Structure 1
Amino acid sequence: MTSARPAPTSDPDTIPRMPAWVTSARVENPEDVAFLSGAALSQLHIVVMRPDLPHALLRDRLSLRAAEACLGFAGRPERAAELRDAVHLLRPGDLPGPAGDVYLAWRRAVARPVSVKALCRAFPDLEAGGIAGWLGAGRGSPVNRAAAVLETVLTEAPRAEVAGLVLADAALSKALGWDHLVPLLAAGLKRADLRKSGDDLRLACHRAVVASAVEGQRLAVDVARRAARLKLVAPKLRAKGAGDAVLMFLSRDAVAPAALPLPDRAARRLCDRLVDLAAVRELTGRDTYRLYGV
C-alpha cells in the first residue's frame, strides 16, 4: 500500500440540508410522492457530486444499512454489530456465513464504479449476461427504471431479493449520472413492498427514495464532520504507516487493528491514540476483538 494524503477536508456546514417541505410532507397522491422523490434526489445529487466528501466511507456505511434491511426482509436477526463482526473479523479461510455474504455483496457493489463486471464481483454466481439484461430492463425516469429492474429480477428469480435490490440501486445510480452505486432503496422499502408490481411498486420505490435520500444526506453531514476531525489530528500521528491507516479509516465503515498496515501492537496503540484524540470510535464495546471507525 502506498502512502497518500487524505482528500481535502469538507466543511460539514456547507453541505446543503434537505428542505423542510421534503422531510415533513405527508402525501399519498402518486404524482406528489414522485415530485418529492425527485426533489430529494436533486438535493442528494449535490452531496454525491461534492469532491471533498469521504464518498467511499459514506457508501460503505450506507451498504451496512442496506444489508441490515435485506436481512430484515429475510426474517434474520443480524444487525450492524453482527454484520461488522461477520466481515471484519474474518480470518483467512473463514466463511462469512449467510449474513456476512449479504453484507459483502453490498460492500463489493459499492466499492467500484457501476458496471456489469463490478456487479459480477458482488454476485459471482450470476452470469454477466443475466446481470446486463436485468440492468437494461428499466425505462423512463431514474426511479421508474429502478422499480422496473427490481420487478424484473424478482419475477424471474423470486429468491434473489438482495441481487434485485442491488441491481435496482445500480440502475438508479447510473440513471442519475453517479459513478458509484449509492444504496438507497433497500433501507426505505418494507418487506411487503417486494411483493408489489407495476404502479404500486413504483410508488413504494418513490417513497423509499424520499426516506433514504433524507437519511443519506444526514449521514453525509455526519461522516464529513467525523472525517474532518480525523484529518485535523492526522499530522499529530508519528507511527510509520499512520498515513495509510488514516486513509483506511476514511474509506471504511469499520476497521480491525489487524487490517492496518502496522505491526499488531503498533496498530492497537494507534487505534487507542485515535480514540483518545476523539478522531475514531471503538464500535463494539468489547475488550478484545475490537473494531474502530470514524
Structure 2
Amino acid sequence: MLSPACPPPPALSWSMTPPSPTAVLPLHLPAWATRCLPDRGGADHPTPAGPAQLGAALAVLDAAVTAAAPHAGAWANRLALAAAAAAIARSGRPEDEAALRDLVALSPAPPAGPAAPVLGAHLWLADGPPGPRWGELPALIAGLGARSGGVPDELAQTLATAAALPCPLVAVSAALQPVLAVRPGRDALAVWAADLVLARWLGWPYGLPLIGLGLPPQGRVDLSALEGATLAAVILRGSARALDRFALLGHRAAALQAVRPRLRARAAGRVVDRLLARDAVSVAGVRDLIPERAARRLFDRLVALGAVRELTGRPTARLYGL
C-alpha cells in the first residue's frame, strides 16, 4: 500500500484544452519503473510494484493525457476497445477487438448484443470526464449486471466515496472490493468501476482503462487478491501498454498531419480530424462531411500515402484509422 502520507488528490478540472497542432514529444517510462514487467504482453501477473514505480507511471501518463495531443481521441477509443475485448474474453465470450470495432464503426445506432454493455461502458469512460456525468452511472452499472433493487444507485455512491479517498491505490481498492462483495463474479463491472474511480481521482478529461489493460487478457483472475503492490503492478502494466500505444499512434498521427496540406478534396481536413478523434472510420461514417465516392478516393489516397491504415483487410465494409 502507499504511505499514509500520500498527498490529497489533485483538484479536479474538467475543461478540455484545444488540441495542439504541433507534434507531441514521445513519452516513455524510465527503465527502472518497468523492471517488474519482464513481459508486458504475457499472460502472467507482473511481480509486485512499489509506490515509486507506480508514481512514475502515473506521472508520465498524466503528461500524455493532459498534453491534448491531436490523436487523443483515437488513442482513448482504441484503448477502450482493447480493454473491452479483454474483459469480454475473460468472461468467455468470443467477440474480439475486430468484432467490437465493427459494432462501433458500422452500426448506425448504439451497439447492440451481448457484448454491448461492456463495450458501451468502456467507450463511455473514454468519452469524457466521469465527474459531470456521474448521474449516468446507475444505468451503466445496471447494464453490467447489477440490476436489482437500489444496487446501481448504491454502487454509484460507493464509487463517488472511493474517488475522494487520499491515495490512488486506496481509492481503487475501495471501488473494486465492494463491487465484488455485492456482485460476485461480475468481474467486468468491478474492473471498469476501478478504472472509473482512478480516472476521477486523477482528474483526467477522459478515462483510460489502465486496470483492464494491465490484467491478463485470457482466463479468470482473482480480483479479490488485487491489493497493494500487486494492484500497483497491474496499473503499472496497463500504463506501460497505454504509453506504448500513445507513442505508436502519435507517429501515425504525425504522418497523417503531414499530408493534410496535400489533400485537395473538399472537407478533407474535417475527415482527417475525424480520423484523429476515433478508433476507426468508415466511408459511411463521413457521409455528413463528404460524398461517398469522394470519400473512397480520399481514403484510398491516404492509404497509398501511408497516412492511415485499412483495419479490416476486407474488400467491402472497410474501416480506416491510425
Do both share a fold (TM > 0.5)? yes
Gap regions ≥5 residues in structure 2: 1-17, 39-45
Residue number in structure 1 paired with 2:41: none
Once the two structures are superposed, residues 128-174 of structure 1 have per-residue CA deviations (whole angstroms, 9 ceiling, x without a partner) of 56423333235341122112201111211224433322221121122
Secondary structure in 1 aligned to 2:255?
helix
So what's the TM-score if we normalise by structure 1?
A: 0.86
Residue number in structure 2 paired with 1:71: 88
Residue number in structure 2 paired with 1:259: 285
2:298 matches 1:270? yes
2:306 matches 1:282? no
How far apart are the structure 1 equivalents of 2:184 and 2:106? 31
Residue number in structure 1 paired with 2:104: 87
User: Structure 1 residues 75 and 263, CA, compared in 2 at 3 Å: closer, same or farther?
Assistant: same
Residue number in structure 1 paired with 2:15: none
Residue number in structure 2 paired with 1:62: 79
The percentage of counterpart residues that share the same residue type is 33
User: Structure 1 residues 182 and 195, CA, compared in 2 at 3 Å: closer, same or farther?
Assistant: closer
User: Structure 1 residues 179 and 8, CA, compared in 2 at 3 Å: closer, same or farther?
Assistant: closer
Once the two structures are superposed, residues 52-111 of structure 1 have per-residue CA deviations (whole angstroms, 9 ceiling, x without a partner) of 35222211111011112101210122221111112212145x853222442222112210
Once the two structures are superposed, residues 154-195 of structure 1 have per-residue CA deviations (whole angstroms, 9 ceiling, x without a partner) of 211224433322221121122223222111001212455444
How far apart are the structure 2 equivalents of 1:220 and 1:35? 22
2:26 matches 1:15? yes
How far apart are the structure 1 equivalents of 2:159 and 2:68? 31
Once the two structures are superposed, residues 24-69 of structure 1 have per-residue CA deviations (whole angstroms, 9 ceiling, x without a partner) of 3469885x53332222112212222213352222111110111121
CA RMSD of aligned residues (A): 2.6
So what's the TM-score if we normalise by structure 2?
A: 0.79
2:124 matches 1:108? yes
Residue number in structure 2 paired with 1:137: 162
Contact 2:37 2:47 in 1 (8 A): no
Residue number in structure 2 paired with 1:247: 273
Secondary structure in 2 aligned to 1:63?
helix
Higher helix share: 1
Gap regions ≥5 residues in structure 1: 1-5
Residue number in structure 2 paired with 1:231: 257
Amino acid at match of 1:73: R
Amino acid at match of 2:89: G
User: Structure 1 residues 282 and 61, CA, compared in 2 at 3 Å: closer, same or farther?
Assistant: same
Query: How far off its partner does 1:122 sit?
Result: 4.7
Amino acid at match of 1:156: V
Q: How many corresponding residue pairs?
A: 284
How far apart are the structure 2 equivalents of 1:224 and 1:174? 25
Amino acid at match of 1:11: A
Query: How far off its partner does 1:280 sit?
Result: 0.6
